[in-house]
Amino acid sequence: MPVHWLANRLGAQGAAPGAYSRAAGHEPAVALRITPNRSLSAEGFVLFIALTCGLIAIPLISVLGTPVLWGVLPFFALAVGGLWLAIARSNADGRLTEELTLWSDRIELVRTNPRGPRQAWAANPHWVRLTLHESGGPVENYLTLCGGGREVELGAFLSPGERSALCAELRGALSRIG
């Protein structure tokens, strides 16, 4: 699951009042980073491009040493270059992250977009409402946080099952913080 718990200091009993206060300079009780699923590692990218070049080059063996090679070679380079750029763009989009930190007196969500501005939201966790819209949202199991006068989406790039599991874990953390 692309949810990485950086800190979860809440036990089954929860926290003592004020134990994790941002105003007092304490560490957050809960900190997590959410990233999109990454199915292709850097090594996988190199292997995929190498195999693609090799497989495309097999038919070129028959035209080696002929003028036809020079007519086909630009299309070969264009196909491999286009594939390279498409995968590189997908990897750039994968740098999207959402970081959620939770103290006893504040909850913050910071979304870092790969090609856009950084977005931040904060509220008092006692007044935050976590909602899982099982239907009727833009996607199945649409997860939102509402508080501080705004409603923000959480984990839009996660699968429906991952959003559901994240909702259950966050509900537990929010209930134990108080």
Q: Please tell me the predicted confidence (pLDDT) of residue 17.
A: 54
Same domain, 80 and 116: no
Task: State pTM to two decimals.
Answer: 0.76
Same domain, 33 and 112: yes
Distance CA 12, CA 5 (A): 16
Same domain, 73 and 147: no
Residue that finishes a domain, picked among 57, 75, 93: 93
Same domain, 148 and 117: yes
Same domain, 101 and 165: yes
When divided into structural domains, the chain yields a total of 2
Same domain, 58 and 132: no
Same domain, 141 and 68: no
Same domain, 87 and 117: no
Q: Please tell me the predicted confidence (pLDDT) of residue 78.
A: 95
Q: Please tell me the predicted confidence (pLDDT) of residue 145.
A: 94
Partnered with residue 3 across adjacent β-strands are 34
Q: Please tell me the predicted confidence (pLDDT) of residue 25.
A: 79
Q: Please tell me the predicted confidence (pLDDT) of residue 85.
A: 95
Residue numbers of the domain that contains 105: 3-38+96-177
Residue that finishes a domain, picked among 72, 93, 114: 93
Question: Each residue's pLDDT tens digit in the chain (178 positions)?
Answer: 588 888 777 765 555 555 677 777 788 889 999 998 888 888 999 999 999 999 999 988 999 889 999 999 999 999 999 999 999 888 888 888 999 999 988 999 999 998 889 999 999 998 999 999 988 778 888 999 999 899 999 998 899 999 999 999 999 888 888 6
